[in-house]
Structure 1
Amino acid sequence: MSASFAPALSAAHDAAGAQHYPAGALYMVATPIGNLADITLRALHLLQTVDAVACEDTRHTGALLRSYGIDRAGVALVAVHRHNESEAAQAVIARLAAGERVAYASDAGTPAVSDPGARLAAAVRAAGHAVVPLPGASSITAALSAAGIVAPGHDDGSFVFAGFLPSKAGERATVLKALGAQARPVILLEAPHRIAELAAALAPLGDRPVTMARELTKQFEEIATVPAQGAAAWVAASSQRSRGEYVVLLHAAPVAADAVAEEGRRVLALLLAEKLPLKSAARLAADITGASRNALYEAGLAARQSEQD
């Protein structure tokens, strides 16, 4: 055991031990995506106390528990992966019906997000048992938080999660063409042995910014934003860039200035209809849409004058 985690186990008991953990429930436990220190105190406490641990890979999760100094030698590790998830869910449900608490952990990150777990959760809920999320590490939100995606008209935080694209070149190109038409940011995942192919397929998107996030939370983490047409050259510039899992973020497509102005006027009209003062309405509409505050204020004045006439 690494001595550095001994205080964490004690802190986990102190911080989370008094909380309520219903019996007969499945606990979806997010685990680190690379940095062991990213585990939560509640996850540590639960992994020490549940009656069984269902996991994508029993060897991986067993090693993870040992890394934290959690000895569950007498506790079952139940394999629940994408090839047996529907069948293995029945074994988990039987344990829940007996009043056991069962944790589920995929190999890294949050279960059911481009990882097994969704079918398990659906089956457990259909059987009438509770599914309790324990949030934590996620490569998707980690990459999004560092990408700095800001664009007029599209800075409301919304995004499209597309995950892994098809492996066949033709199918991948078709999907990318459709995603390229998305006005919102798009998040992709890719394996190291396919990143060069994906990077090359991004070229038709031209100057659209793309953030390449590699080995997140690990020692050789790398995050860079490049034009889509330069993504292949960026990957090829270092042999290290063909190693490690990727999150690839297509930034929001640029919006034409006239479209932004039109959306600003539409939002302004809605706010004024709610009897907001013109100055406040213009400020809010500008913040929401990225349109010019002064232009919106002038448009509001003109509309009022027209109504009076």
Structure 2
Amino acid sequence: MSEPGTLYVVATPIGNLGDITLRALETLKQVDAIAAEDTRHSVGLLRHFGISKPLIAVHEHNEQHSAEALLKRLQAGESIALVTDAGTPAVSDPGAVVVHAVLEAGLKVVPIPGASALITALSASGIVQTGFCFEGFLPASGSQRRKRLELIKAYPSTLILYEAPHRIIECVQDLQTVFGGERLLTIARELTKTFETIHISSLTEAVDWLQADSNQQRGEFVLLIHPAPEVKAEGLDDETQRILKRLLKDLPLKQAVALATDITGHKKNELYEAALALKDAV
């Protein structure tokens, strides 16, 4: 049974309805009401599984007001499930404002995990390196988008973005400009749906691939920018390179080189050339 005064954050399928969890179904059946991003969309999901519950609209334009209304209902002892159109609520979708308000009020929030587009895409990308940075949707404006990409391009692990179909080509072109055409990109499109596509190529090839087929410009996109290949300075052992890289993170180039010279015993000129190569690669 659902607990009175509890908000359940319920993940729903991102495409294939068979991906809903048994726990999600039980929760949706037991709660008193369901807060949905688009009630028209959620009706179809609920009807498919034979569930009928009162629906409350909670979307990006009314989330603050809805959070207050939901809070009153929870404080009155109702249990409520929070869902979005697809995937996990509050992750690049409405819901975070509601969850924050409920927690601030000292009430209970229970996550019901399930489908997530970013994790689904990452699992099928073949990227071996662990760790990633999830940026969600970038700014819609081209100049603001490029400015944001400049800020995050030095991140050493995988970068994961969401993008809408009407901006996909412009976004990938900006990625090519900022990250360079040789950087690898995984495009995951329409995950778990009929026309699911997972395409891995360089950024330059990705732009050409998208432009060559208008069908590949449709649907919902997850973009995974692969980590940049590790740059190694020729002639230096791994430990010396590790020390030099670590010093360059916190010190100006000349100071880092001077300190690395004292620590490792390598020639200053050799370390200076290596430091320049490492700096240029960032």
Distance 1:206 1:260, change over 3 A: farther
Corresponding position of 2:239 = 262
What does 1:46-65 align with in structure 2 at a 5 Å threshold? Answer: 46-65=27-46
Post-superposition shift, 1:264?
Answer: 8.8
Post-superposition shift, 1:263?
Answer: 8.1
In 2, Cα distance between equivalents of 1:68 and 1:148? 34
Answering whether residue 18 of structure 2 is matched by residue 40 of structure 1, we say no
What does 1:150-299 align with in structure 2 at a 5 Å threshold? Answer: 150=128, 155=129, 157-204=130-177, 205-258=180-233, 261-262=238-239
In 1, Cα distance between equivalents of 2:170 and 2:186? 16
Distance 1:55 1:207, change over 3 A: same
Q: Deviations over 1:175-234 (max 9, x none)?
A: 222322221110010011111111211222221110000000001100011101222101
Distance 1:68 1:207, change over 3 A: same
Answering whether residue 115 of structure 2 is matched by residue 115 of structure 1, we say no
Identical-pair percentage: 51
Corresponding position of 2:260 = none
In 1, Cα distance between equivalents of 2:81 and 2:237? 47
3-state SS of 2:209 partner: helix
Out of 80, 85, 89, the position equivalent to 2:63 is 85
In 2, Cα distance between equivalents of 1:263 and 1:222? 43
3-state SS of 1:91 partner: helix
3-state SS of 1:176 partner: helix
Post-superposition shift, 1:22?
Answer: 2.4
Question: Could you state the TM-score of these two structures normalised by the residue count of structure 1?
Answer: 0.74
In 1, Cα distance between equivalents of 2:188 and 2:241? 33
Distance 1:263 1:40, change over 3 A: farther
3-state SS of 1:202 partner: helix
In 2, Cα distance between equivalents of 1:180 and 1:90? 38
In 1, Cα distance between equivalents of 2:155 and 2:197? 26
Distance 1:98 1:167, change over 3 A: same
Question: Could you state the TM-score of these two structures normalised by the residue count of structure 2?
Answer: 0.81
Q: Deviations over 1:226-258 (max 9, x none)?
A: 101222101112111111000000001111135
Post-superposition shift, 1:260?
Answer: 9.0
Query: What amino acid does structure 1 have at the position aligned with 2:238?
Result: A
Post-superposition shift, 1:265?
Answer: 6.7
CA contact (8 A) 1:199 1:235 kept: no
In 1, Cα distance between equivalents of 2:55 and 2:240? 54
Corresponding position of 2:262 = none
CA contact (8 A) 1:203 1:231 kept: no
- The count of corresponding residues between Structure 1 and Structure 2 is 239
In 1, Cα distance between equivalents of 2:240 and 2:19? 41
CA contact (8 A) 2:2 2:31 kept: no
In 2, Cα distance between equivalents of 1:195 and 1:189? 9
Alignment gaps of 5+ in structure 2:
244-282
Query: What amino acid does structure 1 have at the position aligned with 2:92?
Result: S
In 1, Cα distance between equivalents of 2:120 and 2:227? 18
Please report the RMSD computed on the Cα atoms of aligned residues, expressed in angstroms. Answer: 1.7
In 1, Cα distance between equivalents of 2:198 and 2:29? 35
Post-superposition shift, 1:62?
Answer: 1.1
In 1, Cα distance between equivalents of 2:158 and 2:145? 18
Alignment gaps of 5+ in structure 1:
1-19, 267-309
Distance 1:110 1:264, change over 3 A: farther
In 1, Cα distance between equivalents of 2:242 and 2:101? 48
Distance 1:127 1:183, change over 3 A: same
Corresponding position of 1:23 = 4
